[in-house]
Amino acid sequence: MLGLRRVLAIAGVVLCVGFAPLAAEFGLVTLQGQTATYARLLAALVSDGFAYGPASGFAQLMPHWTSMAGWLQVTLGVHAALGSVVLLLCLVQLRTGFRRRHPTVHRRLGRATATLGVVTMALAIAYLVATPMDAIYGGPPFALGLWGMAVMALWSLGMGVDQARRGHPDAHQAFMLLFAATLFVAPSLRLYWVLFGWLLGEGPHTTQATAHVLALVVLSVQTPLLAIGAMAGHRRVLPKARGASPILIALPVLAALGLAWAGMPAFFWPMELPAAGGLLALAALFLAVATVPGLTRGRGVRWSAVVGGALACGGWGLAAGSTWPADGWAAEHLALGQAAYFVVLSLSVAGLTALALSAIRRDDDGLTHEAGLHLLAICAVPAVHQALVRVMSSAGFGHADAWLGAAVLAPGVLLSFSFYATAFRARGSLSEVQPAPRSVALPHPDVARGATA
């Protein structure tokens, strides 16, 4: 498992380092009406039609980019360049060895990273405010995703800086990992264009627009899960509640349980998936038992997280299998997006269930509790998704845009709440956060008697 995590980390670093110059080039090349390098790569790796066809971002947005006001062109170009710089700085800052060997440099570089991060996200928001949703590639769903990214980035960055000033290194690291995961959306998007371009084959919907929809669905869950997975490798302290009633602390968990149960009928029944909704409702009950504070910890409570995760995986998996279009990868955008949404959620739940099982084997109640909270958050997705669809429909969005827009936002919103709840497992200073004690081999009784004689 450690080897796989290292391989994935190296692959992520390579992707970021390769993406940085492409992003920096964007403002200098594309906004002048020329062809960006990543478009040429898409043409070479997938096809010319995929990269330059009528459904590609290059064809749809080039007229808009080149006709934008000068200040807006500068805003978009500087945002793209600064974002790549901040992403590379995060790769350096998050290295444990670098932080330990160069704490002073880490702090100074952290201030620069935070400042540049705020600037690049402020530029992104300025561009979004000045640009109609229809003028953003992917339309309203992707525009909402960009808004969600900007808000999550600023929130996680602000929390990370605040926790560093308060002397809480563990929470500081957690929020900075979430910030880095948010920035990682940009290179991931380009990678998914290629991967989904290959999977779509030569069908009628083999376009960058279809790949874009599928990428949005994956990225909605990937961003918080990357930070969750990274923090799972750190053995931390589960703080005890002080000065508050366990019942009061349990209210958010019970609210999530009620939200999950209330959302199942409205989400699954119209899609003729009552069995999937029933499995998720039952899963939420097991997960609430595993995560309500104040319950006596024991093997039964620990295993309820695994059972709940398995039920949730079954529910989302059943939904994915039942809704996968008969045309397969040749289906239209919305049908593929819905099926991909269920597949991604089922895979995410399977990963979190494996994390809970690993925590039980490591005898880590805190990590079991964390995994259970994240699983419960995903069980509440149907309710939040339906609420967002209603809001977007009332705002004038079409059915497809409302459904996909909700799919982009709902998992990230809920997992952000559960991530916040688990980011404070160790609140002390660096000197107070101690690694788990290692087992020490005891000497043979005869040797011990000889030593004391």
Higher pLDDT residue, 394 or 33? 394
Band of residue 244 on the pLDDT scale cut at 50, 70, 90: very low
pLDDT digit string, tens, across residues 69-95: 888 888 988 898 898 899 989 988 888
Average pLDDT, the chain: 82
Residue pLDDT, tens place only, 148-190: 999 999 999 999 999 999 888 888 999 999 999 999 998 898 8
pLDDT at 433: 36
pLDDT-based confidence at 235, cuts 50/70/90? low
pLDDT at 262 over 70: yes
Measured at the CA of 290, the angle between CA 278 and CA 218, to 5 degrees, comes to: 60
Sequence ranges of the domains in the chain: 7-183, 241-425
What is the distance between the alpha carbons of residues 274 and 318, in angstroms, rounded to a whole number?
10
Token output for 270: 């119209």
pLDDT digits (tens, 9 = 90+) for 195-232: 998 988 776 667 888 888 889 889 989 999 999 988 88
The long-range contacts involving 227-230, CB below 8 angstroms and separated by at least 24 positions, are: 227/174, 227/177, 227/178, 227/180, 227/181, 227/419, 228/352, 228/370, 228/374, 228/415, 228/419, 228/422, 229/5, 229/351, 229/355, 230/177, 230/181
Q: What local confidence, expressed as pLDDT, does residue 294 receive?
A: 58
